[in-house]
Amino acid sequence: MAADRRPEDMKRITTPELADAFIEEQIKDLKAQIGDKKVLLALSGGVDSSVVAAMLIRAIGDQLVCVHVNHGLLRKGEPEQVIEVFRNQMKANLIYVDATDRFLDKLAGVTDPETKRKIIGGEFIEVFAEEARKLDGIEFLAQGTIWPDILESEAGIKAHHNAGGLPEDMKFELVEPVKILFKDEVRVVGERLGLPANMVYRQPFPGPGLGVRCPGAITRDRLEAVRESDAILREEFAKNGLEGKVWQYFTVVPDFKSTGVRDGKRTFDWPCIIRAINTTDVMEVTVEHLSDELIDHLVTRIIKEVPGINRVLFDYTPKPPATVEYE
């Protein structure tokens, strides 16, 4: 039977060989636990849920049902990558739900950050539960719980967001195949399971997604400006060897406008703020200083390619006093 807790003497999984041994043992345990029953997984495309999906596809194939909820706040190309990797390449049983309109309609006019978070979290559970209700014979719910989640919830630092939230009548047995792993181990295991490097080594991305990078009331046009500028920033970081080196980097488009000029005409558009930070524990972060050339190039691309932006700013503030995200 799979270990419920990380054994004290467990060797850190740092090599392909150790990852392969872990995968082999997990698959044996998963087969024994699940038998011929069906498993449901909310697949966000983040590292943990992706690795859990890949592991379960190996172990039980199409007894796994993955649900990918697109809340409209994902980064450019993310839903497409989830479909390409899991449905097309790994032949997963994947239900894709484009719930963009539902989320954005509920969020319309909502300015308070915590209310926005609650709406996004609550709506997510609702969409997921609706999909689950359409399915027959699901007995298990798979989750990408990892070892730090368990340690942090035991220490009372944060409630680990497991089955929590699903309606009372939906009771599933949990399947948590990476729960004794640290994040770096999950990445090594994911690579050995054939997931693309840009999926397993991706930077942290908050659950409320681009919603917290579109401060105040989210509008579709400003959200699109966040998504497009973020895509440019990620592309340039990758080209300049900064992907995988800088801990987290993104853009924010605040809800105010300033005067500019383009083609001899007055403009009144948003600024785009670039944030790039390094940290080990996210309690304290330092700012990654970019070269003048890169900054100039980012400014040129963003003002040229992103509609609605007429100014680009760089955030030089460490945490504390600033937080990483803007809300």
List residues binding ligand XMP (CB under 6 A): 117, 204, 206-208, 248, 282, 319, 323-325
Between residues 203 and 267, which has the closer beta carbon with respect to ligand XMP? 203
Between residues 207 and 216, which has the closer beta carbon with respect to ligand XMP? 207
Torsion of CA 60, 65, 66, 71, to 10 degrees: -170
**Min separation Cβ 208 and ligand XMP, Å:** 5
Torsion of CA 227, 104, 72, 306, to 10 degrees: -20
**Min separation Cβ 278 and ligand XMP, Å:** 11
Between residues 20 and 126, which has the closer beta carbon with respect to ligand XMP? 126
Long-range CB contacts for residues 18-21, cutoff 8 Å, separation at least 24: 18/188, 19/185, 19/188, 19/189, 19/191, 19/192, 20/192
**Min separation Cβ 325 and ligand XMP, Å:** 4
Between residues 31 and 319, which has the closer beta carbon with respect to ligand XMP? 319
**Strand pairing partners for 98?**
70
Between residues 17 and 112, which has the closer beta carbon with respect to ligand XMP? 112
**Min separation Cβ 147 and ligand XMP, Å:** 17
Between residues 21 and 282, which has the closer beta carbon with respect to ligand XMP? 282
Q: Do residues 320 and 311 make contact, with C-beta atoms less than 8 angstroms apart?
A: no
**Min separation Cβ 37 and ligand XMP, Å:** 30
Between residues 258 and 323, which has the closer beta carbon with respect to ligand XMP? 323
**Min separation Cβ 324 and ligand XMP, Å:** 3
Please tell me the distance from the alpha carbon of residue 61 to that of residue 91, in angstroms, as a whole number: 8
Between residues 261 and 283, which has the closer beta carbon with respect to ligand XMP? 283
**Min separation Cβ 182 and ligand XMP, Å:** 17
**Min separation Cβ 277 and ligand XMP, Å:** 8
Please tell me the distance from the alpha carbon of residue 70 to that of residue 220, in angstroms, as a whole number: 15
Between residues 311 and 319, which has the closer beta carbon with respect to ligand XMP? 319
Going by C-alpha positions, the residue among 267, 284, 41 that lies closest to residue 163 is 41
**Min separation Cβ 123 and ligand XMP, Å:** 14
